């Protein structure tokens, strides 16, 4: 296995730590009450995916008067492209917290998974989504980031353990 894909790799650990540090320390708390930080986090994710040669798709909407966006990249499956595996993490934080474990660590894992799959051929389609507005007051409400995933794909997605 390639060292970069080995979960015990110091290179991978350094990259994961770097993502968490950037989001939690350099960007800090990120939510609609701190829109500049929220947008900085989205820009960071977008730059990382662009550097991995992905075309980044944005799903924009307004939440409490703040432009919000889910970000998505895809690897189209070769054998069963209609079967979709959705992998996601949210990049906003609870008010007043830097969000290292909720959820910069999830975004770090998402960014490194996309790096690992950037050149891989897969049987099924992989959709990687960085959701926004997953924390209160949005969780499960009308402005919850997951609600804005395009409906045809959302209903076609299957969960694989």
Q: Which residue has the higher pLDDT, 116 or 7?
A: 116
Residue 54 DSSP label: P
Question: What is the token pair recorded at 161?
Answer: 């353990």
Return the SS3 of 147.
helix
Alpha-carbon gap, residue 17 to 3, rounded angstroms: 17
Residue 154 DSSP label: H
pLDDT (tens digit per residue) in 85-118: 999 999 999 988 999 988 999 999 999 999 999 9
Q: Return the residue matching tokens 């970069």.
A: 4
Alpha-carbon gap, residue 40 to 126, rounded angstroms: 25
Q: How far is CA 18 from the centre of its chain?
A: 16
Whether the pLDDT of residue 157 is over 50: the answer is no
Beta bridge partners of 89: 130
pLDDT (tens digit per residue) in 16-71: 999 999 999 999 999 999 999 999 999 999 999 999 999 999 999 888 899 999 99
Q: Which of 59, 44, 48 is nearest to 154 (CA)?
A: 59
- DSSP notation for 114-142: HHHHTT---SEEEEEEEE---STTSTTST
């Amino acid at each position: 296995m390639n060292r970069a894909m080995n979960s015990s790799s110091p290179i991978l650990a350094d990259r994961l730590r770097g993502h968490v540090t950037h989001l939690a320390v350099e960007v800090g708390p990120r939510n609609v009450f701190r829109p500049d930080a929220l947008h900085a986090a989205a820009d960071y994710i977008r730059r990382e995916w662009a550097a991995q040669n992905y075309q980044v798709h944005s799903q924009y909407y307004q939440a409490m008067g703040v432009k919000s966006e889910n970000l998505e990249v895809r690897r189209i499956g070769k054998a069963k492209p209609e079967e979709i595996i959705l992998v996601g993490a949210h990049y906003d934080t609870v008010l007043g917290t830097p969000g290292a474990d909720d959820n910069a660590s999830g975004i770090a894992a998402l960014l490194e998974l996309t790096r690992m799959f950037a050149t891989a051929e897969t049987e099924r389609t992989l959709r990687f989504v960085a959701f926004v507005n997953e924390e209160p007051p949005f969780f499960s409400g009308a402005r919850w980031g997951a609600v804005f995933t395009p409906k045809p794909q959302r209903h076609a997605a299957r969960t694989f353990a």
